[in-house]
Structure 1
Amino acid sequence: MADITPTELKQRQAAGEKPTIIDVRETWENEEARIEGSRNIPLNELPGKLDDLEDLKDQEVIVHCKSGGRSASAKAFLTQQGFGNVRNLLGGMQAYQQA
């Protein structure tokens, strides 16, 4: 699945959509700034949370971090685990805040 731009995500949110967003930054980073409605699961904790995410395997899941690197790893990992519609937020939180 193609990744998503911050502008596209903000447009969808403004239209009332509530996509599933997973923030793979560390907890302290999430506490400093977060995307409304996102769920914080630090990248290193993601493997241990797979059972909690099982019901999302066939749904769109948007992953993000600070700039896109960790979330690219999260996307690859989730895809390998059978998640069929994982999208990385291009540019991460930095780009989202500027969009």
Structure 2
Amino acid sequence: MKTIQANEVETQYTDLNIVDVREAEEVAEGKIPGAIHIPLGVLEYRMNELDKNNSYVMVCRSGGRSSQATRFLENQGYDVTNMEGGMMSYDGKTE
């Protein structure tokens, strides 16, 4: 599984396709600008919203759920990277 550090995402988020797999109430507290919100529990049903020709960075609160999402999407043929440490490690802009 590919990984990226939160500080790398902080400086590159405008060039990345970010998918936030947290629950709605967590996202309401702030998400990375431009991130697509698809909760982990419905990812299987909404993965068709993602383009297999693009690469994605998966994000959650601490890195656990995004790691699960990364492994799942990898097995479906997507190019995905897990942001280590999740939003707890992210100090960049949020919306």
Deviations 1:23-77 (A, max 9, x none): 0000110001111110111000100102221x2x132100010000000000000
Greater strand fraction, Structure 1 or Structure 2: 2
Out of 43, 54, 62, the position equivalent to 2:57 is: 62
Which runs of 5 or more structure 1 residues have no equivalent in the other structure? none
Number of residue pairs matched by the alignment: 92
Distance in 2 separating the partners of 1:86 and 1:64: 11
Aligned counterpart, 1:94: 88
Out of 20, 24, 31, the position equivalent to 1:23 is: 20
Equivalent residue letter for 1:69: G
Distance in 2 separating the partners of 1:24 and 1:50: 11
Aligned counterpart, 1:11: 11
TM-score scaled by structure 1? 0.85
Distance in 2 separating the partners of 1:95 and 1:23: 14
Aligned structure 1 segments of 4 or more residues deviating by more than 2 angstroms = none
Is residue 7–residue 96 contact of structure 1 (8 Å, CA) maintained in 2? yes
How large is the Cα RMSD of the aligned pairs? 1.5
2:51 aligned with 1:81, yes or no?
Answer: no
TM-score scaled by structure 2? 0.89
Aligned counterpart, 2:45: 48
Structure with more relative contact order (C-alpha pairs < 8 Å, separation 6 or more): 2
Distance in 1 separating the partners of 2:47 and 2:2: 22
3-state secondary structure, aligned to 2:42: helix
